[in-house]
């Protein structure tokens, strides 16, 4: 059996990749993919802990997270489409009408 620390390490690595991705990537769609990566890291950690504690509620939580992530992606893509129609760009740096 693989010890839980392996799962947690993988989850932490995935989460960090996601966080750094949201900071350094400039394409809106890529940023959303990085956010999904963060959420999946959370899911992995929840499932690992649920298995470790032999409990079911952590696994149920993962379903909620997945469903909400799907809704979030739908709303996010809708916003991106609306923005793209008005500006013809996917670069977040160009969304700079408002500063300070």
Question: Which of 1/48 has CB closer to another protein?
Answer: 48
Query: Which token pair is 64?
Result: 């909620």
CA distance 74 to 34: 15
Q: Which position among 6, 27, 68, 91 is part of the footprint of another protein (CB under 8 A)? A: 68
* Per-residue x/- track, 7-26, another protein (CB under 8 A): -x--x---x--xx--x----
Query: Which token pair is 60?
Result: 């149920």
Q: Which position among 20, 29, 55, 91 is part of the footprint of another protein (CB under 8 A)? A: 55
Asked whether position 100 contacts another protein by CB under 8 A, the answer is yes
List b or e across 8-17, with b for residues whose CB sees 16 or more CB atoms inside 10 angstroms. Answer: beebeebbee
């Amino acid at each position: 059996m693989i010890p839980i620390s392996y799962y947690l390490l993988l989850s932490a690595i995935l989460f960090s990749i996601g966080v750094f991705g949201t900071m350094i990537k400039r394409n809106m769609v890529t940023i959303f993919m990085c956010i999904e990566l963060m959420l999946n890291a959370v899911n992995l950690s929840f499932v690992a802990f649920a298995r470790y504690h032999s409990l079911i509620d952590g696994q149920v939580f993962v379903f909620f997270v997945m469903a909400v992530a799907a809704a979030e992606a739908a709303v996010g893509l809708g916003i991106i489409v609306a923005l793209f129609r008005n500006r013809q760009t996917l670069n977040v740096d160009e969304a700079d009408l408002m500063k300070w």
